[in-house]
Amino acid sequence: MTHESDATLSIPGRISLHRGRAPQPTPGKGEVSIHVHAAGVNVTEVDWYPTTHTKAGTPRENAIPGHEFSGVIAALGEDVTGFTIGQPVYGMNDWFAEGATAEFCLTQPASIAPKPVTLTHAEAATIPIGALTAWQGLFDHARLQPGERVLVHGGAGAVGLFAVQLAHRHGAHVIATASTPTLDLVKQLGADVVIDYKTARFQDLVHDIDVVFDTVGGETRDLSWPLLKHQGRMVTIAGDAETSTDPRTKDHFFIVEPSQTQLIEIAKLLDAGSLKTFVNAAVPFDQAASAYAKTIPQKLGYGKVVITLAD
Ligand SMILES: NC(=O)c1ccc[n+]([C@@H]2O[C@H](COP(=O)([O-])OP(=O)(O)OC[C@H]3O[C@@H](n4cnc5c(N)ncnc54)[C@H](OP(=O)(O)O)[C@@H]3O)[C@@H](O)[C@H]2O)c1
């Protein structure tokens, strides 16, 4: 059964977004349909390869952005177990799938988990990409150990805020870069040292680093290699790393993957008050294109912007 859904934001070209209508998606075998209540905004997504290309490499038109969400299960496809219709969930869907800036989206059960019960949908939608990227970078890729020294570049960003908190909880010595308005916040969240990247040269202040978690890229990453100990590890998520010609950078870049197990662990931390998230601004669907164009007023100046589609 399909219904017309008029709350659908899509990208016809590389950077312009428009409101449109699409059939309500029906979950196939092994899929679930989500009634989206809120979707996270990653502005760089409009330039990513899957936004303009299909998996087969052919041009893609009218891609719906936003691949992290909080909502409720609207329908279950054949062979899906472990979830019930109406259950609140949060998570991600595939970059090549139609995204969550719409009333409904499809995903796989392994890419979602029960929504943290203490959070609103808007708060929960800030989490999947930021927290999973931080978790996977620190623990799966860098294998951060308690007592190690970690340098988080972009410590007040949507990913960096989680990286600082998770590294601190893990018993690491956390050094972060951020700018003046967010220095205190990053310190309160667990950074032992916060360096204002606009007024100081971190490369003169930092040494003997076990793990660099780079969310900034470019010169910041280039200047960080010499700060690593002999056995130190770099992880970079910055978009420019994907197209970098530096083999070291290419080797240390990764793209976040959905993980139900990690989303469950992250929800436990959030519900226990051991991990905090920040809604930079929550805007209704009719301001979604402005959110991607970064022309909406920010509420906090840090954290993630979300688009709300239902209460
Ligand atoms: N590979 C992946 O799987 C993956 C996943 C998520 C995100 N990403 C990418 O990772 C990057 C960060 O994402 P995000 O969502 O965290 O972005 P964000 O919320 O916009 O945060 C970026 C942060 O970097 C800070 N910053 C800017 N220039 C800096 C510098 N020279 N030194 C230190 N900090 C600096 C900004 O601080 P001010 O605002 O104070 O300047 C801001 O707090 C983006 O390029 C995004 O596309 C990749």
Mean pLDDT of 285-291: 94
What confidence tens digit (pLDDT) does each residue in 187-236 have? 999 999 999 999 999 999 999 999 999 999 999 999 999 999 999 999 99
Poorest-pLDDT segment among 15-24, 76-85, 90-99: 15-24
C-alpha distances in angstroms, 85 versus 35, 71, 92?
Answer: 10, 11, 18
Calculate how far, in angstroms, residue 182's C-alpha sits from the geometric centre of ligand 1. 13
Calculate how far, in angstroms, residue 86's C-alpha sits from the geometric centre of ligand 1. 34
Cβ of 241 closer than 6 Å to ligand 1, yes or no, is no
Amino acid present at 242: E
Cβ of 256 closer than 6 Å to ligand 1, yes or no, is yes
CB 241 within 8 A of CB 221: yes
Is residue 135 scored above 90 in pLDDT?
Answer: yes
Say what the pLDDT of residue 2 is: 32
Write the residue with the smallest CA distance to atom 24 of ligand 1: 154
Cβ of 177 closer than 6 Å to ligand 1, yes or no, is yes
User: What burial class does residue 243 get, using C-beta atoms within 10 Å of its C-beta: 0-12 exposed, 13-18 middle, 19+ buried?
Assistant: exposed
User: How much of the chain, in percent, has pLDDT values that exceed 70?
Assistant: 96
Cβ of 237 closer than 6 Å to ligand 1, yes or no, is yes
Rounded distance between C-alpha atoms, residue 176 and residue 197, angstroms: 9
Give residue 244's pLDDT band: very low, low, confident or very high (50, 70, 90).
Answer: confident
- How high is the mean pLDDT of the chain? 94
Rounded distance between C-alpha atoms, residue 290 and residue 41, angstroms: 11
CB 154 within 8 A of CB 117: no
Say what the pLDDT of residue 181 is: 96
Q: What radius of gyration, in Å, describes the C-alpha atoms of the chain?
A: 19
Cβ of 127 closer than 6 Å to ligand 1, yes or no, is no
Say what the pLDDT of residue 6 is: 55
* C-alpha dihedral (99, 33, 68, 55), degrees to nearest 10: -40
Is residue 46 scored above 90 in pLDDT?
Answer: no
Rounded distance between C-alpha atoms, residue 70 and residue 128, angstroms: 9
**Residue 257 has what DSSP assignment?**
-
Q: 2 versus 68: which is more confidently predicted?
A: 68
Looking from the CA of residue 42, the nearest atom of ligand 1 is 15
Calculate how far, in angstroms, residue 216's C-alpha sits from the geometric centre of ligand 1. 5
Rounded distance between C-alpha atoms, residue 296 and residue 168, angstroms: 32
Say what the pLDDT of residue 12 is: 62
Mean pLDDT of 52-71: 93
What confidence tens digit (pLDDT) does each residue in 260-272 have? 999 999 999 999 9
* Residue for token pair 């623990």: 139
Looking from the CA of residue 182, the nearest atom of ligand 1 is 40
Domains of the chain (ranges, CATH numbers): 4-127+277-308 (3.90.180.10), 130-252 (3.40.50.720)
What's the token pair of residue 232?
């130190």
> Of 24, 91, 103, 22, nearest to 288 (Cα)?
103
Is residue 54 scored above 50 in pLDDT?
Answer: yes
